[in-house]
Structure 1
């Protein structure tokens, strides 16, 4: 049995599992090498050779050479400006972006020129204005990635390299030494924004010598987070120029559409100033990718056991019963007490607000686990699920069992899931199963997510790297470029949001050159359903463009204040911040945030301007989670999550342990908890309303009108339910008195005359259900055409909206001022609705289910819903859009 066959056999699902919808083998790729660049200092080259790198791959050498040449040209301009006594300009500096696959060696491509500059500067430092000493700033979205980079840099053993991390975990006593002595600082955008730029005079030595700024995982800077980071990059370029430096920015990215344009927008540079390298010349073993759709739960209960499968969470194994495959005692299964699909603001790729919901009665919390259902015609099921809808088996449980089987066979595996609670639950389930089937490795599975204390995080990273942990259930925190060689399998539980992220995740395995296995386990979600049945949209299409809007006034305004606090803004500098800057400055001056003087705009307040900015887009700040009995800090949480996950009475999960929330102190930024072992979990419920504020653009689809503009979304958590873990039965519901939260954001919306609906067979009593089902499915499919997650967006539908006086469907960004997602949907609206209609039609259910028109965050408890009405409605909308075929800005099937 070869390695690939061994990996497939380790899943223990038989030769032809019915869950496998499609199999694709990504072929092995051979390496293309290139000589070391002639300019590379021998000390640096020898250091890489000593680590087993005989020569670089071609794409590494090309990108490194472009960065070196750009830095040499920039240094000449800096020297000329200093000699002439004039200001340094950064507008002419060239920059580089390397956008290749996971494990393609992007790190060496930027380390080579950066270390060459440091070594040469140390050997020939010069003096005063003619100092040739060089410094480098490395930026990553996560602390874990920075720590991994630091380890790899120190492993090179270069004597003149003084590399240190500078982030929130850095001890105060070390910070001054780093500012004064380090020549390579590893930082993140948060610390750059709050700790470096406001204190740039203290960083003068470092900034004046700055030659390179490395922007790692730059594809992850999207949405509101990407807009904030874009402003931070512009502020950094401005501050560098103030100190007489013009560093070259070198981006490292996963594959993305037009990475050069995205990186230029991130930096605020002209497109022709960025050189992009996208050809991957690194080797990689073949990857067998399975697209896996869990069976409907009653199929799992009866058919799955007969086929030799593990069975699902509704096949309650009783003590003493046997596993039909082995005769071993069966492991009791329960439903998941966590929602693996919940948007998680603490993770780097999906930082965002409290989950937006529909208007209507109190809504179920997104942590709703699946409920058992009956089987209807064609296996669709019409049993006692929510509103009689069928349910597929939870992707979390499916992935947990795969993780169990793979680890039991000593296959090193990483399983990705979106939420922190999902990662904790998956690891706990796998550990529980392993205690029964392979107890000797039960302790070699762990969870990894943000929110851990620094010492916990570092130890977990060490254990994963060393192989002590055979299996890890992780949020996207480990998706990024942490060097974990030797993994054999990757499980992706639920679509990660973008093709770029999907390929990043499955690329974690096979880095040592061996064949590997990747399984995408579809969640009960319209997008996941669509993708497993349309594999060409996973494997045969280019990856998405990175979507973010740096001109969002909610983003731009506080950064202009921060820039003015760093040094008064001069009129000639406004071009760096984009065309919206003058108008936003007028508002800031009018509201008293800035004061205009003949030389520019001044920040005149005693408090820190940087504290106005929440760059992760969570709409607030971090709360400390405190053990009420010991006073110890067990973790942190974004304030945007607090109302839904840390309200009084909530059950909070941390590293597999349950905690009961005793108090939510938002003013004191604390959540007080006590240890608990409840037999229930909790679900928050809320209500939402949408009000139109401004129409910014419209498009006529015959009698239907598509709009884009500004809206106000009002959300209030009003109660929570306690539900039994084993049965999901509602124990009770308790009201909450929490303040409403308002969000001014951007939306796309359709206004639909009733005649369009009736002409296509939707009778008036079915208007609400048809609109509601279409809205849910459209929200689920927007991530196919925009780099977002369904938890980044919200929606509302109504048969008669008070502002439009017509049947209306809204889809809005869940971030102040918008994130560009709804605008992207407006631009490619026809393609978006085509995919939405295809997803509903492809689903095998009769009346609607979570795989097509149900939503995990619906404020109306998924009622009313009309799947047939949604099909008729969307068909009608697309017919009216025929005349607008060329008007949605598309190029290709799903847009630019």
Structure 2
């Protein structure tokens, strides 16, 4: 049956057999073998085993992205189409937020349900009576790409999983088995136990799969030639555009029939690379049909558009796929020969996941890392061992974080009254006990039960967001922006729906906006209605926003003295306002990035509120560092951002902590202040850091003083998420300022590498 569905699969690998034997013994299992090692086949076979044994069984498979769910659904349906005993591809339903009402109703009786944490949280658990068949008959839950569920997002997903286990129990179901899968988990069983609350999960790590050879190439564009003072040609230290270099390499891959996927850091880069490649094909080749062989894929596309693109990808009809990180997780594009990265990924897990898309099914593969002009990329291209030889690590799951736990308990109490004595088992190990948390966050009902509070009307799951945006508690103009093509004559076509915090930088009036290789001009923006009108255009320039972001405290909740000598410097925690303003844009040359024109706009402003930590620098220290104060503060904040998560148990140092980054051309006055705040997916980070703020600041100082670099590097002050590309940093000034804050003194020569 398996070999019929997947030709060439004549026998199982040793790790697949080991995992299936454990599952036959009713063990919970986590598979942590490398990418493309056949982890999916294990849970697919287990699905069939359970359904053949009991046709009334229900299976739930949870994926972090819609693209991955579509890919795995295609694979399992192929297996089901060859299965005996009345099983068929129609037994599998997707429920991920893209389905209409009729399809959602059909999903409630599905034997195999593919979903994501958000749909489970928003749609299934709050409506448990409608999903009673699933909750009563659920026999297997699969958590694919489980490494994604870390930090605050992982804490919320853990709460969703514990709520699911609780509702199954309340429906009389005590037979649910769990399978986790990931190629990039440091401690697989520990991670799964934190995520699910289940102890004794067995891990399978010894990889028995066959793999081809994978070559890694670190690539930089050619050096730019310029004329010297005597008129002779000289080689500049600058290099050509990484985007142009990627386009040139993609043309080579296309003509050589080498199937390639390109990963870009941002949606903008994805669309620009798609446009440049499409234009180059039309300009340089006689075979215009090659245009249809290049497709782009990213978040934001409408559901129908995503399905069409996914069908092309999975069938192998496309030669080149240009994507964001939306396709880095688990998607099996077995025909891909080469992975190209436009810029070094921002973390090690992403690097390994992206590289894992090449050389699947035992084939050889090529990983091509095309560096850009950023100092971070230059660092890794000059020190490739830091990237290729480093061991990845997995951050903890913040399931017991008080803020996250409080919101998840609201959701649980809405689904069924919370009884701390009965329900302690699902949240075993909560600091202070479940009853204390219930008294703190919930409304008592009777003598021993609790229910949700009405501040979460109409129901808690609608108010509690698992990921994007959940770091922010309030917004102005919360309505998303709908991008509409107004130049189609009859009717209007919706192209995309964009969050305001993203749209403000790309959809201002006059902006050049790209969509699947086509160029549009933004004609109209109505923020109040959430409506953006765009029209196809031919222009010979790009646009970059002229913008700034101010981050200011609004409500101090906690204040504590920073130093033991009581010199009066305080660190504060509380509510901060993040104000983004676009006041114009630059028209820039698409090749050289030279500024062609400056355009003024009526200011477009977007505000959001979150929590943060800040330290107002005393005037006496400002006087000591008059020159380069902003660069010193910026470097200090970066060092703090790099160090702070490590003190909270993070092994990677990654967290969605943000700061107010400095632009080299900025002239407006900003208070001399260190500030870190919770980003959109980083809810709770600043609160976790507060009790150990002194430790994190001392650690940041040691990080800078012990680093061997002179001007700053990714190990000390250069941050991968700096919105201004780490252009305004003063490492020595940061060391001086940090010494003043922590020690109260600094003498010339202190803190500099000897």
TM above 0.5, yes or no, is yes
Measure, in 1, the Cα distance between the counterparts of 2:435 and 2:360: 49
| Residues in 1 aligned to 2:343 and 2:126: alpha-carbon distance in whole angstroms | 40
Task: Say whether residues 1:627 and 2:494 are aligned partners.
Answer: no
Cα separation, 1, equivalents of 2:674 and 2:365: 44
Of 43, 47, 57 in structure 2, the residue corresponding to residue 134 of structure 1 is 57
Q: Which residue of 1 aligns with 2:668?
A: none
> Structure 1 residue 199 and structure 2 residue 127: aligned?
yes
Check conservation: 1:392, 1:524, Cα contact below 8 A. yes
* Correspondence 1:174 to 2:103: yes
1:79-94 → structure 2 map (5 Å cutoff) = none
Alignment of 1:72-471 (within 5 A): 95-122=28-55, 133-156=56-79, 157-158=82-83, 159-161=86-88, 162-180=91-109, 182-246=110-174, 247-267=176-196, 269=197, 272-294=199-221, 299-301=223-225, 393-440=240-287, 441-471=290-320
In structure 1, the partner of 2:583 is 719
Of the three residues 499, 513, 527, the one matched with 1:652 is: 513
**Equivalent of residue 709 in structure 2, options 841, 845, 848:** 841
Tell me the SS of whatever aligns to 2:17: helix
How many pairs were matched up? Answer: 697
Partner of 1:741: helix, strand, or coil? Answer: strand
State how 1:13-52 maps to structure 2 within 5 Å: 51-52=7-8
Name the SS of the counterpart of 1:276 in structure 2: strand
Say if 2:15 is the partner of 1:59.
yes
Cα 1:741–1:254 change in 2 (3 A) is same
Match of 1:607 among 458, 461, 473: 458
Aligned-residue offset at 1:782: 8.4
Distance 1:54 1:248 in 2: 27
Per-residue Cα deviation, 1:712-754 (whole angstroms, up to 9, x for no partner)? 2432325232423443334222232535322214x58797998
Residue 183 (structure 1) shift: 0.9
Alignment of 1:821-832 (within 5 A): none
Question: How has the CA–CA distance of structure 1 residues 852 and 511 changed in structure 2, closer, same or farther, with 3 Å as cutoff?
Answer: same
Q: Which residue of 1 aligns with 2:666?
A: none
Distance 1:202 1:734, change over 3 A: same
Match of 1:734 in 2: 601
Query: Is residue 475 from structure 1 mapped to residue 303 from structure 2 by the alignment?
Result: no
Contact 1:662 1:674 survives alignment (8 Å): yes
Task: Measure how far apart 1:396 and its partner are.
Answer: 3.1
1:505, CA displacement in angstroms?
0.7
Shift of 1:238: 1.3
Measure, in 2, the Cα distance between the counterparts of 1:474 and 1:288: 21
How far did residue 197 of structure 1 move? 0.9
1:861-872 to 2 correspondence within 5 Å? 865-866=729-730, 869=733
How far, CA to CA, are the matches of 2:699 and 2:155 in structure 1? 25
* Aligned with 2:431 (options 579, 596, 599): 579
Shift of 1:62: 1.9
State the alpha-carbon separation in 2 of the partners of residues 595 and 645 from structure 1: 48
What TM-score do you get using the length of structure 1 for normalisation? 0.68
Structure 2: which 5+ residue stretches go unaligned? 473-477, 664-670, 745-754
Cα distance in 1 for partners of 2:569, 2:245 equals 43
Pair 1:274–1:734, CA change in 2 (3 A): same
TM-score under structure 2 normalisation?
0.80
Per the TM alignment, residue 413 of structure 1 is displaced from its structure 2 partner at its CA by 0.8
What SS does structure 1 have at the residue aligned with 2:164? helix
Residue 667 (structure 2) aligns with: none
Q: Is the 8 A contact 2:95 2:113 kept in 1?
A: yes
Q: Distance in 2 between matches of 1:262 and 1:699?
A: 36
Instruction: Give CA deviations for 1:841-868 in whole Å, capped at 9, x if unaligned.
Output: 37799xx9xx959986349x956x5465
Which of 551, 554, 557 matches 1:689?
551
Q: RCO higher in 1 or 2 (8 Å CA, sep ≥ 6)? A: 1
> Can you list the C-alpha shifts for 1:795-820, whole angstroms capped at 9, x where unaligned?
4699xxxxxxx976444431477354
Question: Could you give the per-residue CA deviations for residues 77-122 of structure 1, whole angstroms, max 9, x where no partner exists?
Answer: xxxxxxxxxxxxxxxxxx3221222111110122222221111112
Quote how far apart the aligned CAs of 1:211 are.
1.0
- CA–CA separation in structure 2 for the residues paired with 1:54 and 1:449: 35
Q: Shift of the alpha carbon at 1:160?
A: 2.0
Question: Is 1:814 the counterpart of 2:663 in the alignment?
Answer: no
C-alpha distance after superposition, 1:503-561 (max 9, x if no partner): 11111111132322112223344443433333333233321223553344553343322
Cα distance change on mapping 1:540 and 1:118 into 2, 3 Å: same
SS in 1 for 2:709: helix
Q: Which moved more, 1:394-403 or 1:503-512?
A: 394-403
Q: Structure 1 residues 821, 277: closer, same or farther in 2, change over 3 A?
A: farther
Q: Distance in 1 between matches of 2:467 and 2:697?
A: 28
Query: 5+ unaligned residues in a row in structure 1: which ranges?
Result: 1-43, 72-94, 123-132, 304-373, 381-390, 799-805, 881-896
Alpha-carbon distance in structure 1 between the residues aligned to 2:603 and 2:441: 37
Question: SS in structure 2 opposite 1:736?
Answer: strand
Residue pair 1:497, 1:787 contacting (<8 A) in 2 also: no
Change (3 A) 1:53 1:738: same
Residues 782 and 553 (structure 1), Cα distance of their counterparts in 2 relative to 1, 3 Å cut: closer
Conserved 8 A contact 2:358-2:366: yes
- Please say if residues 481 and 500 of structure 2, whose CA atoms lie closer than 8 Å, have aligned partners that are also in contact: yes
Provide the secondary structure at the position in 1 that maps to 2:130: helix
For 1:428 and 1:699, how far apart are their aligned partners in 2? Answer: 54
1:765 aligns with 2:612: no
Equivalent in the alignment of 1:340:
none
1:643 aligns with 2:494: no
Taking the aligned partners of 2:563 and 2:380, their CA distance within structure 1 comes to: 29
Deviations 1:194-220 (A, max 9, x none): 111111111111221111111111112
Question: Distance between the aligned counterparts of 1:844 and 1:607, measured in 2?
Answer: 50
Q: Please give the alpha-carbon distance, in whole angstroms, between the structure 1 residues aligned to 2:20 and 2:569.
A: 50
For residues 349-405 of structure 1, the C-alpha deviation after alignment (integer angstroms, 9 at most, x for no partner) is xxxxxxxxxxxxxxxxxxxxxxxxx9999955xxxxxxxxxx654433332322222
- Is residue 559 of structure 1 aligned with residue 408 of structure 2? yes
CA contact (8 A) 2:637 2:675 kept: yes
Pair 233,852 (structure 1): closer, same or farther in 2 beyond 3 Å: closer
- Aligned-pair CA distance for 1:460: 1.6
Shift of 1:702: 13
Q: Whole-Å Cα distance in 1 between the matches of residues 236 and 698 of structure 2? A: 32
**Residues 1:857 and 2:708 are matched in the alignment:** no
Q: Is this contact kept in 2: 1:703–1:753, CA < 8 A?
A: no
Q: Secondary structure at the match of 1:415?
A: strand
Moved more, 190-199 or 697-706: 697-706
2:504/2:582 contact within 8 Å kept: no
Distance 1:283 1:491, change over 3 A: same
